[in-house]
């Protein structure tokens, strides 16, 4: 019987090192990397570019239902294009960062994103990072991880990136939203990397994943 592709789910709080470590793990394993946050950011950028009020959940839901998108895998990284364009730089703008947490809280948006993210399985074995991968998108995977760090440390990391964000507010919005709130998935290995480098964190992840894969005969 043909085995399904492996899915490594890495969830966690803002500035907990999800993106950096997911990329390092994907590269080490030869897996495809999927940044689900970038998908939500792409919708936020789209709404802003079309002058859609991101405070209006109904308008955002309609936009998400109608926009013309496609999943592509380029250099082992999955991205969501809109009308054939991937707004790689635009989705990192401050105004997009402001809008994205509100857009991500819209239930219809999360439904649409869940389907798109599950469709990424077409590209093979992957490391997918976000806030609800192990709890909502791929709850069936055996490879679940949750990254966290102390608020002070995460704030320092954001400042080092040149971003001034109230992470306590973001944490509250993420964990209290009605649709797929941020929480630790059942069976997930929790890693607090407050006093760890990215290399140390990724090595811990890779060692654990490889041991589990070997035990599972994969």
Tens digit of each residue's pLDDT (9 = 90 or more) over 62-111: 999 999 999 999 999 999 999 999 999 999 988 998 899 899 999 999 99
Nearest 10 degrees: Cα torsion 167, 98, 107, 121: -80
Are 108 and 148 part of one and the same domain?
A: no
Q: Which of 36-50, 99-113, 150-164, 183-197 has the lowest mean pLDDT?
A: 150-164
Radius of gyration over every alpha carbon of the chain, rounded to an integer in angstroms: 17
Among residues 94, 123, 152, the one where a domain terminates is 123
Number of domains in the chain: 2
Among residues 75, 104, 123, the one where a domain terminates is 123
Strands 77-82 and 7-12 come out as unpaired
Enter the pTM of the model: 0.91
Average pLDDT value for residue range 138-149: 95
Among residues 71, 92, 123, the one where a domain terminates is 123
Nearest 10 degrees: Cα torsion 194, 34, 52, 163: 30
Q: What's residue 193's pLDDT?
A: 94
pLDDT band, very low/low/confident/very high, at 2 (cuts 50, 70, 90): low
Are 26 and 42 part of one and the same domain?
A: no
Are 182 and 203 part of one and the same domain?
A: yes
Report how far Cα 182 is from the mean position of its chain's Cα atoms. 11
Judging by beta carbons within 10 Å of its beta carbon (0-12, 13-18, 19+), is residue 217 exposed, middle or buried? exposed
Is pLDDT above 50 for 1? no
Tell me how far apart the alpha carbons of residues 61 and 194 are, in angstroms, rounded to a whole number: 37
Judging by beta carbons within 10 Å of its beta carbon (0-12, 13-18, 19+), is residue 37 exposed, middle or buried? middle
Are 102 and 116 part of one and the same domain?
A: yes
Tell me how far apart the alpha carbons of residues 106 and 56 are, in angstroms, rounded to a whole number: 9
Are 89 and 107 part of one and the same domain?
A: yes
Are 148 and 69 part of one and the same domain?
A: no
pLDDT in tens, 147-159: 999 999 998 988 8
Are 140 and 105 part of one and the same domain?
A: no
Are 131 and 150 part of one and the same domain?
A: yes
Domain that holds residue 13: 1-31+126-218
């Amino acid at each position: 019987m043909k085995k399904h592709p492996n899915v490594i789910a890495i969830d966690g709080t803002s500035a907990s090192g999800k993106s950096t470590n997911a990329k390092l793990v994907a590269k080490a394993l030869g897996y495809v990397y999927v940044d689900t946050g970038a998908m939500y950011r792409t919708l936020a950028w789209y709404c802003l570019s079309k002058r859609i009020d991101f405070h209006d959940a109904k308008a955002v839901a309609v936009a998400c239902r109608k926009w013309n998108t496609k999943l592509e895998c380029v250099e082992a990284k999955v991205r969501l294009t809109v009308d054939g364009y991937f707004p790689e730089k635009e989705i990192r703008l401050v105004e997009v960062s402001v809008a994205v947490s509100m857009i991500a809280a819209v239930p219809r948006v999360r439904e649409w994103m869940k389907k798109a993210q599950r469709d990424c399985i077409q590209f093979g074995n992957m490391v997918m990072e976000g806030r609800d991968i192990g709890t909502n998108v791929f709850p069936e995977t055996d490879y679940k991880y949750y990254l966290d760090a102390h608020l002070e440390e995460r704030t320092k990391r954001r400042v080092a990136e040149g971003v001034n964000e109230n992470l306590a507010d973001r944490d509250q919005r993420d964990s209290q939203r009605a649709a797929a709130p941020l929480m630790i998935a059942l069976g997930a290995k929790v890693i607090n990397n407050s006093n760890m480098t990215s290399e140390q964190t990724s090595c811990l992840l890779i060692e654990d994943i490889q041991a589990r894969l070997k035990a599972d005969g994969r």
